[in-house]
Amino acid sequence: MRADRPGATLAREFLDALAAAPEGDGTLLDNCVVLAHSDRSLAKAHAFEGMPIIVAGGRIRTGDHMADPSSGIGLTVQRAMGLQVERWDTMGMETNRSIADLLV
């Protein structure tokens, strides 16, 4: 599986711009959460397993590779932003479990 290089480059440039923008006692990146992903891990098979996801921001621990369903990541990001969300996703991917390892 190959990463989408143009998309990854754009994501990096966006994160660099947020990290360079002062806000309060830190940067704009320190005060937000960014979630970027592809819609499939292997488009030909419409597969969700191993879908590349980038999560960055002040309340998120970065620099790790995790093999976790996207629904757990989506729920964790929403809760990190202070949203009162009990469950996330639908049918077989639904979860009520945050990923503690993602939080600072």
Inform me whether the pLDDT recorded for 1 exceeds 50.
no
Mean pLDDT of 53-73: 75
Tell me how crowded residue 27 is: count the other CB atoms within 10 A of its CB. 16
Q: How far is CA 53 from CA 20, 22, 27, 70, 87, in A?
A: 22, 26, 22, 8, 20
Residue 55 pLDDT? 83
Distance CA 93, CA 83 (A): 20
pTM, entire model: 0.69
- Residue 46 confidence class, pLDDT cut points 50, 70, 90: low
Is pLDDT above 80 for 40?
no
Residue 73: is it exposed, middle or buried by C-beta count within 10 angstroms (0-12/13-18/19+)? buried
Q: Using an 8 Å Cβ cutoff, are 41 and 51 in contact? A: yes
| Domain coordinates in residue numbering, the chain | 5-102
Task: Name residue 84's amino acid.
Answer: Q
> What average pLDDT does range 34-62 have in this prediction?
71
